[in-house]
Amino acid sequence: MVDTSVSLSGLVLDNPIIPASGTFGYGYEYAELYDINCLGSFSFKGTTREARFGNPTPRIAECPAGMINSVGLQNPGVEKVISEELPKLKECFSKKVIANVGGFSLDEYAETCQILDSQEQVGLLEVNISCPNVHNGGMSFGTDPKMAAEVTKRVKAVTTKPVYIKLSPNVTDIVEIAKACEDAGADGISMINTLLGMRIDLKTKKPIIANKMGGFSGSAILPVALRMVYQVYDAVKIPIIGMGGISTAKDVIEMMLAGATAVQIGAANLVNPFVCKEIIEKLPEEMAKYNLNSLSEIIGGAH
């Protein structure tokens, strides 16, 4: 029997497969399709302190090997997530979930994380620092090491559960930012968030997405994600949740060899809603093919 279990800062997962935030809702929608308890965990929809309608439409543009989205953190706000979404989730998912948190100021990050930290269902906090800082001219928190470190410190000061900082790839040196988060007390890193991209409609000669640009995800970005995870693994001692273009069991093994302890699967869920289940079922076969007995033993194996 092969061992697919991994541990994220003490949170033990049966397998490393985690649907990524924004592609799996709050879980119960997918539970109508299959038993989602087969998952290692999942990262629920990015949650902010107040409810958000999101960005104007159109928000989605297709690409040959992926998609661009500019949804804009649409969510009902943290209080409704706790009062309405988590109780529905508890009926179909018995494991701990990952709470993905967005924010537009240091106070908002801290407050939302503190509220979610108190929820029994939450096993880990994933802090998305790709949000624009409204107090700093709209610059993303994740593009500046000092701001990334400040968010990390503020969140760690008011929480007890592991805090993973989700990094943007739209930077010159992602290693510097990862190290700043580690030095500020982060328990782990999630990476990478989407790349910035756009498409233009040839008929209208205008950008397809109302916001002009959006987050590019899908299989095309896997090599970029692998490269960045590989670089960060060499620089930090905390665990990494790797993501970006993963859609097969082979991709999972490749990402773990680069340095990921667990992986998240995003855009592939929107193409095939059963993809996470299928990857979990396929993993033992792929492990046997490459003479792997334990996934936890291959983390960073390419180094």
Catalytic center residues: 131
Residue with tokens 């529905």: 88
Is the distance from CB of 221 to CB of 165 less than 8 angstroms?
no
Q: Count CB neighbours of 255 within 10 A.
A: 29
